[in-house]
Amino acid sequence: MTNALIIGGGIAGAVTAMALQKAGIDAEVFEAYETGADDVGAFLVVFANGMAALRVIGAHGPVVANSFPAERVEFYSGTGKRLGERPLARSADATDVGPRTLTRATLYRVLHDEARRRGIAVRHGKRLVAAETVSDRRVVASFGDGSHAEGDLLIGADGIHSVVRKLIDPAAPRPRYTGQNTVCGYTRDVKPPSAPDTYTMIYGRRAFFGATAAPDGEVWWFANVPGPERSRQDLAAVTADQWRHRVVALLDGDRTPAADVVRATGEHIVASHAYDLAATPRWFSDTMVIIGDAAHAAAPNAAQGASMAIEDAVVLAKCLRDRPEPRRAFGAYEELRRARVERVVAQSALMARRSAPGTLRRLVRDVMLPRSVERGGGGADAWLTDYRVEW
Ligand SMILES: Cc1cc2nc3c(=O)[nH]c(=O)nc-3n(C[C@H](O)[C@H](O)[C@H](O)COP(=O)(O)OP(=O)(O)OC[C@H]3O[C@@H](n4cnc5c(N)ncnc54)[C@H](O)[C@@H]3O)c2cc1C
C-alpha cells in the first residue's frame, strides 16, 4: 500500500489524510506544534464549496455541529450609509450545506478529532526541517527533534511559510505581506450590530470592519488595520489593550457601531499578518507536492483560504487514487487546481484594494456597490461557491 507523509496538521493536512484514506492510501500527519497551531484565535467562514468538499469524505457533520450559519452580508459605508445586502448561501443544490462560521481553533480540533476517530495517526512536535528523495523513489523526512520518517510521497500542507515549498524549489517566491494586520475580537458586552447569521461589513474611513453574532449572542468581529510587518515575537508582544486602542482610534469618527464593539472587548483580541502568494511556479517534484496555503495563499478578504485548502486536499487524493505514479498524479492535481486558486488569490487582492481607505475610493464605492449588490455582486461569486469536487 502507498504510504504518504503529510507535513502540517492544519486544515489541508487533516483533510488530506482523511481523503487519502478514502482513496485507499495510508497517511501519517506530522505537525510542528505540540498542540494545534499558532494563530488559532481568528475565526473564519467555510463556504458552500468547502463544505461540499468535506461532504465528499463525510467530514462535514462535525464541522456543522461546531459552527453556525453565515447566511447574508450587509454593507455599510463609514458614514453610516447602508450600501446593500446579499445572501452568502448561494447554491443551485438545495441539499448543500451553506457557509458556516467557526474559529480556526475549532476547525482544527474538529478535523483532528475526526481523523483520529478514523484511525489516522497525527504526530505532534514534529517540525520538518529537511526531506530528500532516496534512490528507490522513496522520500525521507527529517524533523527538528532528530527523528525521521520514510514514505512513498510527501505532501506539504505546512501553510504560508512552507518548508516543503522551498525544498521543491529553493527559488520559490516568498509570500507577500499585504501591509494589513487582521485583528479579531470577541465580546458579550455589546448589542450585536446585526441579526444572527448575518455579517455586517463596514467600509470605514480608516479601516475595514466586519462582525457577526454567535448563537449565544457573543459578537465576533475583525478589522483590517494597516501596519508594518513584524517578527512573530513582536506581533505576539502587542497586548489586547494596545490593539483595542489602535483599532478604536481608526474606527472612532465613523458613524457606525464598530468602535463601540471594539471598545467593549476585553482580553479576547488577537492579530495576525495578512499575506498572499499569487503564483508558485513549481508545485511538485518526483516525490513531493504542496497544497493549501503552502502552494497558494489569498489575502483573507475573499475568506476562501480554508475552503481552497479543503478542495485541494480532496482533489489531490482523487488524483493519487487514479494515477499510482506520484509525479503523474501531482501533475493532474496541478492542472485541475492552478487556474482556480490563482483566480481566488487575484480576487482577494482586488477585494483588499477596494476595501482600503481613501476618499476617492469611498466616493466610487458608495455609488457603485449598491448597484453591484443589486446585480448580485459585492460578495462570493457563483464560480467560487458553486464549484464541486467530483469523487
Ligand atoms: C485572520 C485570518 C482570517 C481568515 N479568514 C478566513 C475565512 O474566513 N475563510 C477561509 O476560508 N480562510 C480564511 N483564512 C485563511 C485560512 O486560515 C488559511 O487559508 C487556511 O488555514 C490554510 O490551511 P492550510 O492547512 O493550508 O494551512 P494552515 O492552516 O496554516 O496549517 C499549516 C499547518 O502546518 C504546520 N506547520 C508549519 N510548518 C511546519 C513544519 N515545518 N513541519 C510540520 N508542520 C508545520 C502549522 O503549524 C499548521 O498547523 C483566514 C486567515 C487569517 C490569517
CATH number of the 176-275 domain: 3.30.9.30
Q: From first to last of its 391 residues, what are the pLDDT tens digits of the chain? A: 789 999 999 999 999 999 999 999 999 999 999 876 544 589 999 999 999 999 999 999 999 999 999 999 999 999 999 999 988 866 666 678 899 999 999 999 999 999 999 999 999 999 999 999 997 789 999 999 999 999 999 999 999 999 999 999 999 999 999 999 999 999 999 999 888 899 999 999 999 999 999 999 999 999 999 999 999 899 999 999 999 999 999 999 999 999 999 999 999 999 999 999 988 999 999 999 999 999 999 999 889 999 999 999 999 999 999 998 999 999 999 999 999 999 999 999 988 888 777 777 777 777 777 777 666 655 558 888 889 999 9
**How far apart (Å, rounded) are the C-alpha atoms in residues 277 and 241?**
31
Is 191 within 8 Å of 260 (Cβ atoms)?
A: no
Tell me which residue has its CA closest to atom 50 in ligand 1: 300
The alpha-carbon radius of gyration of the chain (Å, integer) is: 21
Spell 69-85 as b/e; 16+ CB within 10 A means b: bbbbbbbbbbeeeebbb
Tell me which residue has its CA closest to atom 41 in ligand 1: 128
Tell me which residue has its CA closest to atom 35 in ligand 1: 8
Q: How far is the CA of 197 from the centre of ligand 1 (A)?
A: 24
Is 127 within 8 Å of 148 (Cβ atoms)?
A: no
Tell me which residue has its CA closest to atom 30 in ligand 1: 159
Question: Taking CB atoms and a 6 Å cutoff, what residues make up the pocket around ligand 1?
Answer: 7-13, 30-33, 37, 42, 44-46, 104, 126-128, 157-159, 163, 182, 272, 292-294, 300, 303-307, 309
**How far apart (Å, rounded) are the C-alpha atoms in residues 268 and 187?**
7
Task: Look up residue 356 and give its amino acid.
Answer: A
Which atom of ligand 1 is nearest the CA belonging to 222? 1
Report CA-CA distances (Å) from 124 to 104, 129, 313. 18, 14, 20
Q: How far is the CA of 373 from the centre of ligand 1 (A)?
A: 30
pLDDT for the residue 37: 52
Q: How far is the CA of 199 from the centre of ligand 1 (A)?
A: 22
CATH number of the 3-175+277-385 domain: 3.50.50.60
Is 299 within 8 Å of 276 (Cβ atoms)?
A: yes
Spell 353-381 as b/e; 16+ CB within 10 A means b: ebbbbeeeebeebeeebbebbeeeebbbe
- How is the chain split into domains, by residue range? 3-175+277-385, 176-275
Q: What is the model's pTM?
A: 0.95
**How far apart (Å, rounded) are the C-alpha atoms in residues 233 and 160?**
17
Query: Which cell numbers in the block locate residue 294?
Result: 503552502
**How far apart (Å, rounded) are the C-alpha atoms in residues 128 and 163?**
7
Bridge partners (DSSP) of residue 201 are 75, 210
